Amino acid sequence: MAKATFYFPKNFRWGTTTAAHQVEGGNTYNDWWRWEQEGHIKDGSSSEVACDWWQNAEVDLDRMAAMGQNAHRLSVEWSRIEPHEGQWEGAAIDRYRDLLTGLHDRGIEPMVTLHHFSTPQWFTDQGGWENADLALSRFPRYVEKVVGALGDLVDLWCTFNEPNNYVLMGWLWGQWPPGCSDFGLAMRVMHTLLKCHAAAYHLIHELSPTARVGLASHFVVFDPADPDSWLDRQAAGWQDTMFNQATLSALSRGRLPLRTRRLFIRGVKDSFDWIGMNYYYRRRVAFDSRRSNALFGRMVVPEGAEEPIEGMGEVYAKGIVRLAKRLSTLGRPIYVTENGVHDLTDARRPRFLLTHLHQMWRAIQFNLPIRGYYHRTLVDSFEWDYGYSLRFGLIKMDPRTGQRTTQRSGELYADVCRANALDDEIMARYDPELADQIFQG
């Protein structure tokens, strides 16, 4: 009998999260495939097979169910549904219907993302998100098609995954397609994405009045490197405003947080029924007058801090509570739509999981409205520009053979999902030192 138990609320959603391009394989119609052909994947690997979900996702759906998960976040791939402009691929819709039915049959509630970083080549060839007129006519048309065809199987829709990170990587840092570095263009694309989000939100409600629609944003905790330095505090604040606050300000006030009229976005205010928090790390920021392209901020990693990926910040579980508190002011339910860590050997993932779940439990004790947690991710998958050099899976996968092996962190997550709780026995089994710290100190 466990001595101390942190219970999660009844009906709490426990799941994992994926994106079509990262798991499906066999798709040559999107911009990421082209990006890969141009040699931009750091380890030279290919998304050609990925986790082979297009052929056989069912083996992994069985694993989710066996692990006690009751929720899963996946995305549908626009370029499969509309591989050529205006030509709809019925077989792709049927495959998604099979996948969604397969989830329901296993007692797993789907959350479906409509855009997760990849777009059809025909769309990018005409300017893609940089062409606002094109985007505002073609994206809603795709949404209408998808919701019309799959709406009876989906209650939870996520319009876009991380518009902020997508714009940063594609239009400012140039590491993702289309590989640009232009602040003005980046702002215009952000504006267009949010308009498309709003259009999708209203359209989905027309088609499926009871559906709940939101978006998932990437959140980073930005703290000043030296809390006593006014300049460091300003630099951390600027990064926070541009990265975290832009989406929040659009959703709650209808405008991007800059003093320009053009940045008012019609229809976006209040266009969300829930908010998704993708959370991985914090960054401490020092003022640096030479770094105008990073809003005069330079990241500093304190000695001894654990870096999730070199150069990306530091692991910081308490960020979940701080961000949930901030998001709760929006007055909508919160889902942790992504959280996880790259770990080749699964040596540190159990502790990452335990500390983040414990902080999430604390947030819920403060009445912060977190309704579900989608771990990133079930099976090692194709990590965008990193290819297979990053491993986020609770289940290890050999990309050459597709062979899967459940990690200790996978067993740990299954224990939590089945119990709908975190207790001292689970903690002691996977991390006795942490259990002592939490239960005795």
What is the contact mask toward ligand BGC in residues 268 to 307, using x (rule: CB under 6 A)? Answer: ----------x-----------------------------
Q: Does residue 249 interact with ligand BGC by CB under 6 A? A: no
Residue 218 in the binding site for ligand BGC (CB under 6 A): yes
Distance from C-alpha of 212 to C-alpha of 256, rounded to nearest angstrom: 24
Smallest gap from Cβ 381 to ligand BGC, in A, equals 7
Q: Does 383 bind ligand BGC (CB under 6 A)?
A: yes
**Least separation in angstroms between CB 207 and ligand BGC:** 26
Shortest gap between Cβ of 87 and ligand BGC (angstroms)?
27
Are the beta carbons of 157 and 118 closer than 8 angstroms? Answer: no
Q: Which residue is nearest to ligand BGC (CB)?
A: 19
Window contacting ligand BGC (CB under 6 A); options: 160-168, 170-178, 238-246, 328-336: 160-168
For the CB of residue 317, give the shortest distance to ligand BGC in the complex, in Å: 17
Asked if 117 and 385 count as a contact pair (C-beta separation under 8 A), the reply is no
67 near ligand BGC (CB under 6 A)? no
Q: Which of 8, 13, 16, 19 binds ligand BGC (CB under 6 A)?
A: 19
* Count of residues touching ligand BGC (by CB under 6 A): 10
Min. distance of Cβ 392 from ligand BGC in angstroms?
Answer: 6
Inter-helix orientation angle 319-328/349-365, to 10° = 40
Smaller CB separation from ligand BGC, 88 or 173 = 173
27 binds ligand BGC (CB under 6 A): no
Q: Does 113 bind ligand BGC (CB under 6 A)?
A: no
Residue 338 binds to ligand BGC (criterion: CB under 6 A): yes
Is residue 77 a contact point for ligand BGC (CB under 6 A)?
A: no
Query: Among 5-13, 39-47, 83-91, 158-166, which window interacts with ligand BGC (CB under 6 A)?
Result: 158-166
Task: Please identify, among the stretches 92-100, 159-167, 355-363, 406-414, the one whose residues bind ligand BGC according to the rule CB under 6 A.
Answer: 159-167
Residue 162 binds ligand BGC (CB under 6 A): yes
Indicate the residue among 19 and 327 with the shorter CB distance to ligand BGC. 19
Q: How far is the CB of 435 from ligand BGC (least distance, A)?
A: 28
Q: List interacting residues with ligand BGC (CB under 6 A).
A: 19, 161-162, 165, 218, 278, 338, 376, 383, 392
